[in-house]
Structure 1
């Protein structure tokens, strides 16, 4: 495993070994940090001119889980197993249902003077969130690693014959989403390579690697094996030098609502949602003397308390935490941890 390194200006340098990182910390020439993905990296206390080698990131898209691997010419830098955002479609359905219900009420606000989305090309929210999440992960990796190329398994959209040839080749959610992803990756200055599914299988056989059928298994051979062979096919690596895995899942922030969908006891509808709790952004990583490392959730305005959640499982630990008792660490858009090796 390699640890990302940046200098005092934030310029990404070549990653180092854990032993080198400990030596830098001990000498006082560096300090530990975490990026928005929650991945640990080293920031030097001085400027250094980069002398970087090519680093390739491989992406294995999936419906529920996805694989990301950063591979150099010889060493494996990073392996990620990421949970894909699947909550947007249901959230949009709920919002649509509530909007239709509000139209029957007398107190609804008047319509807008113009429809902002009328005659404008747009991508459905569920499709956009799923494919832009991949681009955001690559952008966060690029902030701490000198990435040069990206290899993506080109997912084929299900099509059927129609009058003009293919029926849904141009407006399938998969087709539209992957084209949007390729544009975003190209805009980052990365060279994009595409591989078909059968090519990924041949690459696994070429490197002598096997893939498990258990999709939710937190191991290298579930999804990271495909992303590794994709990256190695361009970087030139011959074998995975490290199979340790970071498990990453995004923080879900609930949109602010006028009130809860279901009335509480007594018919009262309390406010719900939002992104801040008593001055702290929800999802902020804090340390509590009783509950340890946890994240900030909702709050009670009357009692001036907030809820804390377990970092990995997101299980609520308490609803009575005081902001003064929480030592703020940082805010992360993704929760991640290193999967223990067997």
Structure 2
């Protein structure tokens, strides 16, 4: 049973409660239902504090899939199976190509900047680790997380191995930046991969070899054992999953790549659609729960929250019930 997050009257996370208990509190007028980026929770009306037990959030980073697990001493509150952000590198290369081409056309463009030291974190690395940080901050606002436990990804440089070092140095830079920012939310404990394996064996849990499997024993099991090792949990009493996939926005894509008839390029991209942020979660009388896409003339595109498939291009904004802004798709397995 997935427990319901609880916030106090002043917005402070308290211990999650059983769904039946949440319904009782709402029925008696002591709490109200709330909805935040696909997650349901309740907010108390007459309490500003409460007893909080140690709660750990285990994080299992990955190249394609990642996992978060929130665990208390006696209960497992949440398991997330998440797609990693892998599209930024290709988008940056495509943006560079389009920007160069625009300099030879009669269209607004900025002048090229030469001899500029890039410095900092590469865009793809920053996006990959920033995605983890946003999720951690979001969960910290719903659950009373006292510590984050992260599986430390090791990357050692090798003398004379230029291609190896170039590939792995961004990983080290992004990882250290992530740890520094995550410590601003709660204390951080790092574990090596061999320690995670030992924890699995101690708890008697196995891990499937199918990395793409949407099951608790693909990635969430590692996140769970990391969190359980800090709070003293014994066994996962909840192995359900919530799938989360980041949305891709074309905020800075000015025009379509290929011109239309007459040599004109139609406008393309942007972050809003008729005043709604793209990705906003809404309710439609016909399609139900979905999210906002692009526009065409005076109509909106709506997309399925689970598959991302476009449901319609002819939705009217007056028919929508706005729920919240979001940058991900989410569904329960």
Q: TM (normalized to structure 2)?
A: 0.93
Structure 1 residues 18 and 223, CA gap change in structure 2 (3 angstroms): same
Q: How far, CA to CA, are the matches of 1:232 and 1:186 in structure 2? A: 19
2-side partners of 1:314 and 1:109: how far apart?
32
Residue 194 of structure 2 aligns to a residue whose secondary structure is: helix
Query: What are structure 2's unaligned runs of at least 5 residues?
Result: none
Matches within 5 A, 1:33-44: 33-36=34-37, 38-44=38-44
- Give the superposition deviation at 1:266: 4.5
Q: Counterpart in 1 of 2:190?
A: 194
Partner of 1:172, secondary structure, is helix
2:6 equivalent to 1:5: yes
- Answer yes or no: is 1:232 the counterpart of 2:228: yes
Aligned to 2:266: 270
Question: 1:318: how far off?
Answer: 1.0
In 2, the alpha carbon distance for the partners of 1:10 and 1:134 equals 23
Displacement of 1:315 in angstroms is 0.6
Establish whether residue 212 from structure 1 lines up as the match of residue 204 from structure 2: no
**Aligned position for 1:76:** 76
Q: Indicate the residue corresponding to 1:249 in structure 2.
A: 245
Relative distance call for 1:318 and 1:174 in structure 2 (3 A) is same
Is the Cα contact below 8 Å between 1:157 and 1:169 reproduced in 2?
no
Using the alignment, how far apart are the partners of 1:28 and 1:258 within structure 2? 50
Q: Which moved more, 1:169-178 or 1:222-231?
A: 169-178
SS of equivalent residue, structure 1 residue 187? coil
CA shift for structure 1 position 219? 1.1
Match of 2:150, SS state, is strand
Cα RMSD after superposing both structures: 2.3
Partner of 2:317: 323
Question: More deviation in 96-105 or 21-30?
Answer: 96-105
1:185 matched to 2:182:
yes
Matching residue of 2:254? 258
| Distance in 1, Cα, partners of 2:82 & 2:290 | 20
Q: In the alignment, does 2:129 pair up with 1:128?
A: no
Structure-1 residue corresponding to 2:53: 53
Offset at residue 153 of structure 1 (A)? 0.6
Which deviations, in whole Å up to 9, do the C-alpha atoms of 1:231-269 show, x marking residues without a partner?
111111111111111111122221233311112344331
Cα distance in 1 between the residues matched to 2:5 and 2:174? 30
Shift of 1:47: 2.9
Q: CA separation in 1, counterparts of 2:110 and 2:133?
A: 37
CA drift at 1:168: 3.4
Question: Residues 287-307 of structure 1, C-alpha deviation per residue, up to 9 Å, x if partnerless?
Answer: 222222211111123xx1111
Structure 1, unaligned stretches of length 5 or more? none
Whole-Å separation in 2 of the counterparts to 1:266 and 1:205:
66
Q: Does structure 1 retain, via aligned residues, the 8 Å contact 2:36–2:324?
A: no
Verify the 8 A CA contact 2:308 2:329 in the aligned structure 1: no
- Once the two structures are TM-superposed, the CA of residue 180 in structure 1 deviates from its matched residue by 0.8
* One of 157, 169, 172 as aligned partner of 1:172: 169
Tell me what 1:152 maps to.
150
Contact persistence 1:169–1:175 (CA under 8 A): no
Rounded to whole Å, the distance in 2 between the matches of 1:260 and 1:39 is 35
Match of 1:310 among 304, 308, 320: 304
In 2, the alpha carbon distance for the partners of 1:260 and 1:58 equals 42
Q: How far apart are 1:170 and its partner, in Å?
A: 11
8 Å contact from structure 2 (residues 35, 323) kept in 1: no
Partner of 1:32: 33
* Correspondence for 1:297: 293
Secondary structure of residue in 1 paired with 2:120: coil
SS in 2 for 1:151: strand
- Secondary structure at the residue paired with 2:165? coil
Aligned to 1:111: 111
